[in-house]
Structure 1
Amino acid sequence: MWGDYNEMHDGYGFGWFAMLVLLLVLVGLAVALLVVFLRSPGRPSGRDSAGSSPGATTGSSEAALILRRRFAAGEIDEDEFRRRMAALSEPA
């Protein structure tokens, strides 16, 4: 009886180590996916020099770029350009 027990469990001593390694790999994968998700490019980082909301700065810089292009193309004059740039730089 006891001889069968020992023979049946021979070779399974490595199983706990393999399970531990698998667990560590899965935890590492979960942490890596979390880091990738939190640093994804489509997600705002929340680190602005102006201290405003992340979307406001991005929108303001795009609007400033459009104003510069319109001014360079001659669609608006200098007074209009300066007035609108001043309005963009005001805190919301």
Structure 2
Amino acid sequence: MAMMFWYGNGLNGWGWFAMSAGMVLFWGLLITVAVMAFRALDRAAERPSASRPAAPAEQILSERLARGEIDEEEYRRRLTALRSAEP
């Protein structure tokens, strides 16, 4: 049992340093992988799905009017421009 340790009954200074640096690198790598996985999953949830069709321009315009982003005059002007641009 006494032959198990080459440097007496423990590690020397370099051994402690290597073990500490290895532990810091291990936890840093583990945390980095976890953060990157979380960000990738979060970005995938933000992307609009391809199966959901885009809302028509008139519907978006009506929603903006309902939210108060534009006034009625601006709504009518843009609606006229949209309808005149259709083929």
Q: TM-score, normalised by structure 2?
A: 0.44
Q: TM-score, normalised by structure 1?
A: 0.42
